[in-house]
Structure 1
Amino acid sequence: MSLAWPEVERRLGPLVEALRGADRIAVLGHVNPDLDSIGSVLALHLALAAAGKTSWPVTPDPGSPYWAFLPGHDRLVVGAPEWLRPDAVAVLDTEIAPERLGQAWALVERAALRLNLDHHDTNRGGADAALVEPAAAATGELVFYLVRALGVPVTPEIAACLYAAILTDTGSFRYANTTARTLALASALVATGVEPHEMATRIYDTRSWAYMKLLGRLLSRLERTEDGKVAWMWVRHEDAVEAGLLASEVEGLAQYPRMVEGVEVALLFKETEPGVVRVSLRSQRFVDVAAIARAFGGGGHVRAAGCTLTGSLEQAIERLVQACRQAVQREVMAGEGAGTSCGTGEE
């Protein structure tokens, strides 16, 4: 399959022009970063540096220490130090909003130009130049086309960052957002020098003893509704503190409730601090978890979303499980009324 994506390549024009006109550029990811955020930020930073720009890769919160192998990771700036004064900010993998940029928001306020590249359909806009394309499996896909539009070669270092972004946001190419274009792009990155086995080992198969012990404890807490359609686990604040783990290290645990046979919606509740609970939602086939997350002030994709609630962990579990239970029931009833099975959706 050709890597050409004419619609996206045409719409990249304003972003390319803006980046070429700026000299000092901060490339920002979102709070509680995943690898699509970190990988995309590092890839664009490396490309801008290759184009002769002064560039800084920025994250509001530290990512997992297991991501330190990515090229440029040692240059990541956390937050918005006073010395960092960019002409432009390029916000990736999220909308430009204080709650999504956390302690890095000050950089947006300092910069004269706001740029945005994202694949979330919940993006509300607010940039001077932007491209939001929900058909992309990952923001890393869009960064690939932006790098090419800038006239910068996709080096092995850039390719590694983009592959990590795409690999993880597609669930190792298992999610419904994986397309023929996604696989063709991954193939092109491998041809550039990415080692899929090494990448998968570093991202998925390397964890600390403390992490594995915590996982064992959490699996013993696995619960589900009576009909088996909704399953969940929870992490108390003291669990992560005792294990010495960052919030980003427990993010991927949402996959375990999702693996249970018969489960449609999986939930991971993470008490980030007493009275604050971050919830990761995943669905298999037909429930729009982004709609559920939006009802609680969050957002995301149809099959993967998140939100943050205030109050006790027990209250958060009760509210979200009930909302998911109702969403499943609505979809089941809608399918029965139509006389057809419920369809799949894009992540």
Structure 2
Amino acid sequence: MKKRTEEKIKKILEKIKASQKILLTSHIEPDGDSVCSQLALANYLDSLGKEYQIINQGEIPHKYLFLDEKKRIKNKSRPRRLSPNSEGFDLAIFIECSNLDRSGGVRRLLSKKSFLINIDHHQDNSLFGKINYVDHSASAAGEVIYDILDVSGFPLDKKTAELIYVAILTDTGRFRYSSITPKTFRICADLLECGIDTNFLTQRIYYDFSERSLKLLRTVLEKIELYQDKRICFLTITHPMLKKFKVPYQDTDGFVDFSLSIAGSKVGALFLELEEGLTQVSLRSSDFMDVSKIAKSFGGGGHKNASGFTQKGKVQRIKKALLDSILKKLKGKDNLS
């Protein structure tokens, strides 16, 4: 670890120790990396006896609930009801949140006196914190949290190791993306030394579908949309489909990965209609295209291979706008086949 990086981590640790009431948060609709990274850092705060809250806008995908046994993460689904600094936080730690707006209404809990620490690995991070620890070389926020805990001297236990492993597992697409480095596997080797059961974790997260979820998935795949000689694949889940199969939208986490399962598919998207007039779009790509730039143009963000955004309006209009944007990116590329 570089001396400059270690010094920055030490500043973060000093600020944590000096703070009285701490907020941990992440981006809207938290994913596996953000959920597990928050919980792993919370374990360190517990060891210090710190008072803290984990508050996100959006519910945790159901497949990660078993990792939050103490139900420490609070969902503020109605952020407009939050009042500025109503909780009195003197320190707010944002994890895997590329800009302040991506935290949604949770930012309403901040005041001018709230000290902001920004921990991330996204290329497009706006460095909005008073302390910014953004490691672009990390495959997941979980890697960054691992480094912080390592410098702190926190003894890595099995529960914390599970959290960091799942953070890395999910944000690398099951170790598929090009963001993986030798360091990623060295960290995972250390986590394995803590006795984690990788088979159990992978099974719980990727293969424990309910019967209703599988029936919904079948319908989604039957309505697959392919463009540009199968190089672009769109999947759609309408709100009526969710109601018909009685599947919570959180249980569709991971469906988007099927958009790259078609041979030759370069870019995939899942359009999830949360309610009439509001659609969440998840993007996936092979290495030649950076979908985070597309997501950012729609007010979202993410990684090169996995990003997303939320848009108001009719699904068909959003599809057309996204397709036009992807086609512009594809235009002129010679390596599509």
TM norm structure 2 = 0.91
Change (3 A) 1:191 1:111: farther
Q: Is the 8 A contact 2:62 2:250 kept in 1?
A: no
Which consecutive unaligned segments of at least 5 residues does structure 1 have?
A: 336-340, 343-347
Q: Is the 8 A contact 1:25 1:54 kept in 2?
A: yes
The corresponding residue for 2:100 is 97
Matched, 1:287 2:284: no
Change (3 A) 1:330 1:277: farther
Change (3 A) 1:259 1:8: farther
Matched, 1:34 2:37: no
The corresponding residue for 2:298 is 296
**Structure 1 position 63, deviation (Å):** 0.7
User: How many angstroms apart in 1 are the aligned matches of 2:306 and 2:297?
Assistant: 15
Q: Is the 8 A contact 1:89 1:107 kept in 2?
A: no
Q: Is the 8 A contact 2:61 2:253 kept in 1?
A: no
Change (3 A) 1:52 1:110: farther
The corresponding residue for 1:251 is 253
**Structure 1 position 69, deviation (Å):** 1.7
Summarize deviations over 1:159-206 as a string: whole Å, max 9, x none: 111111111001111111111110111111111121100100111111
User: How many angstroms apart in 1 are the aligned matches of 2:68 and 2:155?
Assistant: 15
Change (3 A) 1:88 1:190: same
Q: Is the 8 A contact 1:230 1:325 kept in 2?
A: no
Residue 21 of structure 2, aligned match among 19, 24, 28: 24
Amino acid at match of 2:304: V
Matched, 1:114 2:111: no
User: How many angstroms apart in 2 are the aligned matches of 1:147 and 1:107?
Assistant: 26
The corresponding residue for 1:312 is 314
**Structure 1 position 251, deviation (Å):** 3.0
User: How many angstroms apart in 2 are the aligned matches of 1:275 and 1:160?
Assistant: 38
Q: Is the 8 A contact 2:98 2:301 kept in 1?
A: no
The corresponding residue for 1:212 is 214
**Structure 1 position 285, deviation (Å):** 2.5
Summarize deviations over 1:61-112 as a string: whole Å, max 9, x none: 21122212215552222227777332211110103423x2223222233862
Amino acid at match of 2:36: G
User: How many angstroms apart in 2 are the aligned matches of 1:6 and 1:239?
Assistant: 53
User: How many angstroms apart in 1 are the aligned matches of 2:3 and 2:204?
Assistant: 34
The corresponding residue for 2:43 is 46
The corresponding residue for 2:280 is 278
Amino acid at match of 1:77: K
User: How many angstroms apart in 2 are the aligned matches of 1:316 and 1:35?
Assistant: 26
Q: Is the 8 A contact 1:170 1:178 kept in 2?
A: yes
Spell out the pairing of 1:7-18 with structure 2 (5 A cutoff): 8-18=5-15
Which segments of structure 1 move beyond 4 Å, counting only runs of 4 or more?
Answer: 4-7, 80-83
Q: Secondary structure at the match of 2:55?
A: strand
More deviation in 246-255 or 125-134?
A: 246-255
Q: Is the 8 A contact 1:120 1:300 kept in 2?
A: yes
Change (3 A) 1:104 1:5: same
More deviation in 74-83 or 109-118?
A: 74-83
**Identity of matched residues, %:** 27
Residue 192 of structure 1, aligned match among 191, 194, 198: 194
RMSD of equivalent CA atoms = 2.1
More deviation in 54-63 or 197-206?
A: 54-63
Which consecutive unaligned segments of at least 5 residues does structure 2 have?
A: none
